[in-house]
Amino acid sequence: MTKEDIIIVPHPSLRLTSNEIDEINDKITLTIDNMVSATLDWEKSRNHEVGVALAAVQINQLLDLIIIRNNYEDKDDLKFNVYINPKVIKKYGNLIEDYEGCLSVPDIYGKVPRFSKVKIKYLDINGVERQKTFSDFYARIIQHEIDHTKGILFIDKIKEREDAFYILNKSGKLEALKYEKDIKKNPILWK
């Protein structure tokens, strides 16, 4: 798959709940491979961004499945970790507001409040149930992706205000969108 297979707002599937996976079979492993290839193809088209994670719904597969880059700071590390049927079992730490973007909400960023630590349970690629605790940026990523499996986008968590949304300019710097001009008139940013 390519970046063209990543669905974007207002595609209706992005608002649906993903289905739990009962069996890890060839269809699931193919979906994982497709998610990785679409993410990496997207990344190749971006000068200042890294493909960090993707939920299966973003390639229009309503499966409770997430991939997260092993090391988002190293573009040469092409390994992704797989989380099947991930569920948050504990949120703790501080609620921190920081920037988020999304492959399905092109070129838009916003400050989203997320917990600094979360513990999840999930199945690994072999169907073994596991638990894992995420901190800091990885905690933000897993919360963002689990929201995708519930039909929630990061833009849903941003309060309507003047400094809510940003774009990445050509030099790779975030630039605030103007509320009246760019945001209020954009139906994608508000459900």
User: pLDDT for 110-165, tens place per residue?
Assistant: 989 999 999 999 999 999 999 999 999 999 999 999 999 999 999 998 866 656 78
182-187 — which CB contacts under 8 Å span 24+ positions? 187/10
Q: What angle do CA 38, 115, 101 make, to 5 degrees?
A: 30
3 state SS of 146:
helix
Cα of 37 vs its chain's centroid, Å:
15
Closest CA to 150 of 64, 60, 92, 24: 64
Instruction: Look up residue 52 and give its two tokens.
Output: 């960090």
Beta strands in 16-164 (DSSP E): 53-55, 65-69, 80-102, 105-123, 129-135
Query: Has 145 been annotated as catalytic?
Result: yes
Structure confidence by residue, pLDDT tens digits, 151-162: 999 999 886 665
CATH of the domain at 97: 3.90.45.10
Tell me what the pLDDT averaged over the chain comes to.
90
Closest CA to 113 of 177, 73, 161, 77: 161
The number of domains in the chain is: 1
Domain that holds residue 131: 3-189
Structure confidence by residue, pLDDT tens digits, 78-116: 999 999 999 999 999 999 999 999 999 988 899 899 999
Out of 23, 49, 145, 180, the active site residue is 145
